[in-house]
Amino acid sequence: MERQFYPHSHQHSPSWHKLGSVFKYALIAVSIIGLFVYGLAYPKSEIFGKVIYRMNYPGKMVALTFDDGPNGVYTEQVLDILEREGIKGTFFLIGKNVEAYPQIAREIVREGHCIGNHSYTHPWLLPFETKRGLAAEISKTAEAIYNATGVHPKLFRPPHGFRTPWMISTLHKMGYKVIMWDDMTTDYMAGSKPAEIAQHIISHCKPGSIIVLHDGLNLNHSANRENTIKALRVIIKELKKEGYRFVTLKKLE
């Protein structure tokens, strides 16, 4: 009888070995991307280099910081509130906004507040610039701040909180401390309610917290920051009740 041969069924099925290799490399790629995104965007991440996201001061001390100013009437309102409450804050200024409101930048310094560099135009893609491009953006902001106030800031907060290894390296070589935060809400969004902004900040506050609020919105000088102003009054009142004292980030320079 003639012997018949039949192909093995596995010869027509996918190679599990190859699929396993593809899966392994895909998992590695996803892990690398995930790690990069974590380092890029998570405020407390230091995998790309040293950042400061909270203070190690003794006692119940917190820092109020304000981003994206100066912004006309709203920065003025923040300054009025801080003056009435006997509080000093830290303002991270956008260079182009300083050029638009140099008198407010001078007022911030004159009233004893600390200021930091928050880039010249608040670009989304700043962390992906070349080292030369980064240095130019940062230096242009420093020049605008110095021309308006006579101050050389040594604190830098990345726009949108995004950073890359070469960004942090460039900042450190330029003598800057990179300032992040551990207590921020969405007060920059138009639909945010004052009560929700205040509740989030208060509930997440701990001794040493660096709080972020926004007296401006990128380069938009018509942005309404009334919700932030209303929330600020509540935040200060409630944190004072809890025994907190407010300090600037000047000691970190």
Whether 67 is catalytic is: yes
Sign (positive or negative) of CA dihedral 28, 32, 33, 34: positive
Which distant-in-sequence residues (6+ apart) come within 8 Å of 146 by Cβ?
152
**Sign (positive/negative) of CA torsion 242, 207, 202, 229?**
positive
**Amino acid in the structure at residue 196:** E
Tokens of 191: 């639909």
Q: Which of 67, 183, 187, 215 is catalytic?
A: 67
Amino acid letter, 253: E
Q: Could you say which of 113, 214, 215, 221 is catalytic?
A: 214
Q: Which two tokens stand for residue 177?
A: 């401390």
**Angle ∠(203,224,248) on CA atoms, nearest 5:** 50
3-state secondary structure of 230: helix
Query: Is the distance from CB of 95 to CB of 121 less than 8 angstroms?
Result: yes
How many other CB atoms are there within 10 angstroms of residue 150's CB atom?
Answer: 9
Residue with tokens 């804050």: 89
Q: Is 43 helix (H, G, I), strand (E, B) or coil?
A: coil
Active site residues: 67, 214
